[in-house]
Structure 1
Amino acid sequence: MSWSDLPLRKLVTGVAVAALALTAGCAESQREENDSAEGTGGDTGGTFVFAASSDPATLDPSFASDGETFRVARQMFEGLVGTKPGTAEPAPLLAKSWESSEDGLSYTFELEDGVTFHDGTDFNADAVCANFERWYNRTGLAQSENLSYYYRSLFRGFEQNEGEGLGEPLYKSCEPEDEDTVTINLNRPFAGFVAAMSLPAFSMQSPTAIEKYKGDDIGGTADDPRFSEYASAHPTGTGPFKFGSWERGQQVTLEPYEEYWGDKAKLDKVIVKTISDGTARRQALQNGEIDGYDLVAPADVAGLESEGFQIEQRKPFNILYLGMNQAHPALQDPRVRQAIAHAIDKEALVSGTLPEGTEPATQFMPDTVTGYAEDVPTYEYDPEKAKALLAEAGFPTLEIPFQYPTGVSRPYMPSPEDTFKNISAQLSEVGITVKPEGLKWSPDYLDRIQGTADHGLHLLGWTGDYNDPDNFVGVFFGKPSNEWGFNDPALFEALEDARGLPTVDEQVPAYESINKQIMTMLPGVPLASPVPSLAFAEGVKGYQPSPVQDEVWNSVTVEDEG
């Protein structure tokens, strides 16, 4: 999820995660009460006001790919699979267990019983099939990457393909075995199927409400299903909170669902307020206007802590990197790319611009992801070696464009301007002069880096959707792209082969080898996996941070400090 607001950036999403052949889920539901660093709080309830960085794109998560839509959706909707608290690992949710066939073509889910949607209708095997068939049968605009990004990326096609880049669908059929048992059949193996079901885009929604409020209608006043009556005013899931109201551009209000099947919400009300500016979010917390917010600027952490606010940190599941576009003549030379890598003091970069607890990176994935290699080629900080490599390549001095985003804060890049300044200063010490170009994040920066070859060095990164090596290196390097400007058929083939391996045991050495191959070729410099920070008022209890932002607020309470 994530460059968050940029489905354009996700070029290839993979299919390899953990092979789950004949493996049943047995963990406790993620929705059960979890302890946080502050404990679980009491039964004080209250209203929880959380500041988001942008408005949701829609309240129908199947038509979304951005983090702020998913933040709200996770309170109202649930999927068959969730994640283990505080991790990116799959865990039971609406499905209490599952089992796959030996050939990997069928997955049978045992469902929780007694679950109802917010409209009072039953969640059962028929409802599961209705959701899968809804995604599979989309036509026209609804098939576009902008609307069905995750389904296109993971399921690869629809019953009737109408767009470019679509092929044989992964999905084949859905069979209700009985009311609480359902089997999903695939046309080919997909080792990441279960883990992918934890994505909010695959949440279970009420078929009755979708039909009643025309959730799939296109035409007339609702020419985009993201703005249908259903998606705007009647989103209906099974989660601990139900929809209250949506004042576009201002806030979403949620209320507890009293018939929730799991641990019921302790809060009386949730308000997710849109405050786009990071400084304004901090000031709103300090002024008592909100109870918490995400994407805390590193420079603000110490000050907020000294004022008595709580800082919670997510385990990093991201990567920040310096990209090097090989369409630029100088960057085609591996010695120049190596020189740039040797010129960067990652320790200084981390301590000067990134959150406390952040560790420098050696490769293009966090160390918690399958296939992380301990012995990839590394490029230690060595300015003299950088100068020697530049001279050897015929560039004793070098001027190169350096694009960076402005007016944005991402989990992997909380302060891009500061990061740019730090790296630029380090490059200048070895004879590299950068031509700076700050661009507005969306659409200017993303369009330039991803849509054209007109760039040199650039800052970007990625937050993983779920624990899948292809969700990192496959996204970056799975095929030729404008961002990187190289064509390496051997690397592309290795990634494609690894994506289709049936077991984790086979995937691990394959991805370890790929990570070594990438760092030998050195398309960019992996910088760090920053620790994203959240800030809360003193009275907030029971918030459980998640590396993939699977944060559900049924255990949260807000105590009156007055």
Structure 2
Amino acid sequence: MRVPARLLPLTAAVAAPALLTGCFAATGGSGGAEGKRVRVAMMQPPRSGLSPLTDDAFKLSRWATAETLVTLDEDGDAEPALATEWRQHGRSWTFTIRDGVTFHDGTELTPRAVVNSLTEAATAAPKPRILDGVELTAEADGDTVVVTTATADPLVPQRLSSPQLSILAAKAYRGKTVNPVGAGTGPFELTKVNGTSSATLDRYDGYWGGRAKAPGIDVRFVPDGTARAAALRSGEADIVEAVPVSQAALLDQDLVTEVPMPRTNTLYLNTRKGPFKDPALRAAAREAVDAESIVKGVYEGRADVAKGLLGPALPWAAELRGPVRHTEAGDPDGRTVTIGTFTDRAELPEVAATLQQQLQKAGFRVKLDVREYAAIESDALAGEFDAFILSRATVLDSGDPAAYLYSDFSSDGSFNISQLADGAVDKTLRAASRTATGEARREAVMAAEAAVLRTDAAVPLLHERVIQGDAASVVDAAHDPRERELVTVDTYVK
């Protein structure tokens, strides 16, 4: 079976803040919902050429160009999308595929097309992280698709809601890349990608869910948070994602929306090598951290101090969380540690500097390594740092935190920055993954969280909030704590 490498080359440089002025000048129009395109300033440029098998998939989802078989409601329960219904029988789930759907290239959505997309994802190397620990196959059966896993998996519908399992036309998978241009099913067709600088989407009038109210979307990637906020103030952007807290207070507060989100700012400690291989030194680092001062000083109160890995966006987590027994802290005795983080989220370098001071006060010597995320991710995943600060979405993929916990803390997790390999943790993660959805699963998830916290492989700092800027002329932009939606079929600019 072919195992494709899925990276589309990135050819353009990231737009510098100084080049933002006029970046939307050629777009827009006048008069009503039909005349104006939606101008969006986004934080992170594509990391993998907008491959849907990577985190870039969430951009495709936020632009309403790529869709999945299933979506999630506010509670994280599965709802129909490209599949209209489903049922479980043992290790298999049967999904009925929606009639009357066409891809942006004019071809029809068929069970065979669905099987092709799911098979490409399941056989990719690496696989999308939503499939960590999951062996999945798909086959067409009449007007349905049968999805089978190696063991019974109660979370299959939620997994299939992940943007990383978007269904694209066959043409997207030619050669060694996945190219989503003109290959989705959503209300907007991706027509042009200018490397890591910009993207253009036009309304797709054949959309099965009704005609979009806006004629298109013009996206610019603006990593500098000050420049993104300036674009909203100057009227150059209609929607600005991830407004830095330092800029939020400078904006008209009527244009700012703040929503608690399932995203945790966490200090990951390397358990495989270096000083933090010693559990006592990990405990010393945990005790040195003053998260409340970070929330007040760096986030200006626009965040919530973490009591665990799962935050207030999942209200049941606090209700089910119990005490955690930690290892006794040891003496750092001047041990040198290197902490890595990235500049794409404006607050993280400040968090790193504050943690440097706190750990040095406790007796560590601390070096910082701060880069753009695209330049640091591979080193972080390879365990090249003693510690790494990450802003991590905890239910982004499936609406269920078990997938995040497995990906980040299981022995074979694809995003295991802590390099954790702990049999007791693995056992609780497997139990959570196998438990049916509902109260029992939530209890199993919290048992897994406790097992992770006992190791001090991760020190949760705070839970972030969505801070999004919308111009006064914007109607019905999405404010999605899971960061799956931004511009929808109902969004337009007056």
Query: TM-score scaled by structure 2?
Result: 0.81
Partner of 2:433: 499
Partner of 2:248: 301
Task: Confirm whether residue 106 of structure 1 aligns to residue 92 of structure 2.
Answer: yes
Partner of 1:533: 467
- Structure 2 vs 1, CA of residues 269 and 515 (structure 1 numbering), >3 Å: closer, same or farther? closer
Task: Confirm whether residue 460 of structure 1 aligns to residue 387 of structure 2.
Answer: no
Partner of 1:199: 162
Q: CA deviation at 1:133?
A: 4.9
Residues 252, 272 of structure 1: 8 Å contact kept: yes
Partner of 2:83: 95
Percent identical pairs in the alignment equals 21
Which letter does structure 2 place at the counterpart of 1:546? D
Supply the distance in 2 between the matched residues of 1:128 and 1:345 (Cα, whole angstroms). 48
Deviation digits for residues 487-540 of structure 1 (CA, Å, limit 9, x no counterpart): 422222332343233454543333332322332332231111111312122211
Partner of 1:70: 60
- SS in structure 2 opposite 1:531? strand
Partner of 2:174: 217
Supply the distance in 1 between the matched residues of 2:50 and 2:371 (Cα, whole angstroms). 28
Partner of 2:239: 292
Partner of 2:337: 401
Q: CA deviation at 1:252?
A: 1.8
Partner of 2:348: 416
Q: How does 1:40-439 map to 2 (within 5 A)?
A: 43=33, 46-56=36-46, 61-66=51-56, 69-71=59-61, 74-84=63-73, 88-101=76-89, 103=90, 105-133=91-119, 135=121, 143-145=124-126, 148-150=127-129, 153=132, 155-156=134-135, 170-176=136-142, 178=143, 181-207=144-170, 210=171, 215-218=172-175, 224-226=176-178, 231=179, 234-305=181-252, 310-327=255-272, 331-354=276-299, 356-367=301-312, 368=314, 373-377=320-324, 393-395=330-332, 397-409=333-345, 414-429=346-361, 431-439=362-370
Q: CA deviation at 1:462?
A: 1.7
Residues 49, 56 of structure 2: 8 Å contact kept: no
Supply the distance in 1 between the matched residues of 2:266 and 2:207 (Cα, whole angstroms). 42
Supply the distance in 2 between the matched residues of 1:118 and 1:95 (Cα, whole angstroms). 18
Q: CA deviation at 1:443?
A: 5.3
Q: How does 1:511-522 map to 2 (within 5 A)?
A: 511-522=445-456
Q: CA deviation at 1:130?
A: 4.4
- Structure 2 vs 1, CA of residues 298 and 378 (structure 1 numbering), >3 Å: closer, same or farther? farther
Partner of 2:22: none
Deviation digits for residues 37-64 of structure 1 (CA, Å, limit 9, x no counterpart): xxxxx85652111012344456775443
Computing the radius of gyration over CA atoms, which structure comes out larger, 1 or 2? 1
Supply the distance in 2 between the matched residues of 1:45 and 1:378 (Cα, whole angstroms). 60
Supply the distance in 2 between the matched residues of 1:89 and 1:173 (Cα, whole angstroms). 24
Supply the distance in 2 between the matched residues of 1:291 and 1:467 (Cα, whole angstroms). 28
- Greater relative contact order (Cα 8 A, min sep 6): structure 1 or 2? 1
Partner of 1:478: 410
Deviation digits for residues 69-114 of structure 1 (CA, Å, limit 9, x no counterpart): 4346x52222111122x5644322122322212x2x2222334333
Residues 36, 215 of structure 2: 8 Å contact kept: yes
Task: Confirm whether residue 446 of structure 1 aligns to residue 380 of structure 2.
Answer: no
Deviation digits for residues 281-320 of structure 1 (CA, Å, limit 9, x no counterpart): 22222222221221211100010125x6x11234311211
Deviation digits for residues 264-297 of structure 1 (CA, Å, limit 9, x no counterpart): 2111221112223222222222222221221211
- Structure 2 vs 1, CA of residues 407 and 133 (structure 1 numbering), >3 Å: closer, same or farther? closer
Supply the distance in 1 between the matched residues of 2:101 and 2:225 (Cα, whole angstroms). 39
- SS in structure 2 opposite 1:79? coil
- SS in structure 2 opposite 1:96? strand
Supply the distance in 2 between the matched residues of 1:94 and 1:55 (Cα, whole angstroms). 28
Q: CA deviation at 1:249?
A: 3.7
- SS in structure 1 opposite 2:153? coil
Residues 196, 466 of structure 1: 8 Å contact kept: yes
- Structure 2 vs 1, CA of residues 304 and 122 (structure 1 numbering), >3 Å: closer, same or farther? same
Deviation digits for residues 184-238 of structure 1 (CA, Å, limit 9, x no counterpart): 344432222101111223222234xx2xxxx4333xxxxx323xxxx27x52222
Residues 371, 469 of structure 1: 8 Å contact kept: no
Bigger drift between 528-537 and 44-53 goes to 44-53
Supply the distance in 1 between the matched residues of 2:185 and 2:411 (Cα, whole angstroms). 38
Which letter does structure 1 place at the counterpart of 2:65? M
- Structure 2 vs 1, CA of residues 304 and 87 (structure 1 numbering), >3 Å: closer, same or farther? farther
Query: TM-score scaled by structure 1?
Result: 0.72
Which letter does structure 2 place at the counterpart of 1:266? K
- SS in structure 1 opposite 2:465? coil
- SS in structure 2 opposite 1:303? coil
Residues 305, 462 of structure 2: 8 Å contact kept: yes
Supply the distance in 2 between the matched residues of 1:91 and 1:238 (Cα, whole angstroms). 17
Q: CA deviation at 1:260?
A: 2.0
- Structure 2 vs 1, CA of residues 199 and 154 (structure 1 numbering), >3 Å: closer, same or farther? farther
Which letter does structure 2 place at the counterpart of 1:470? A
Supply the distance in 1 between the matched residues of 2:129 and 2:286 (Cα, whole angstroms). 34
- SS in structure 1 opposite 2:251? helix
Deviation digits for residues 338-388 of structure 1 (CA, Å, limit 9, x no counterpart): 343333332221122126442111222335188774213289xxxxxx9xx
- Report how many aligned residue pairs link the two structures: 458
- Structure 2 vs 1, CA of residues 355 and 533 (structure 1 numbering), >3 Å: closer, same or farther? farther
Q: CA deviation at 1:243?
A: 3.2
Partner of 1:167: none
Which segments of 5 or more consecutive residues in structure 1 lack a partner in the other structure?
A: 1-5, 8-41, 157-169, 219-223, 380-385
Which letter does structure 1 place at the counterpart of 2:451? Q
Supply the distance in 1 between the matched residues of 2:60 and 2:450 (Cα, whole angstroms). 34
Deviation digits for residues 443-466 of structure 1 (CA, Å, limit 9, x no counterpart): 5533443314x5333312421322
Which letter does structure 2 place at the counterpart of 1:70? L
Which letter does structure 2 place at the counterpart of 1:47? R
Supply the distance in 2 between the matched residues of 1:425 and 1:299 (Cα, whole angstroms). 21
Supply the distance in 2 between the matched residues of 1:316 and 1:432 (Cα, whole angstroms). 34
Supply the distance in 1 between the matched residues of 2:272 and 2:168 (Cα, whole angstroms). 45
Residues 291, 540 of structure 1: 8 Å contact kept: yes
Which letter does structure 2 place at the counterpart of 1:46? K
Residues 61, 69 of structure 1: 8 Å contact kept: no
- Structure 2 vs 1, CA of residues 122 and 44 (structure 1 numbering), >3 Å: closer, same or farther? closer
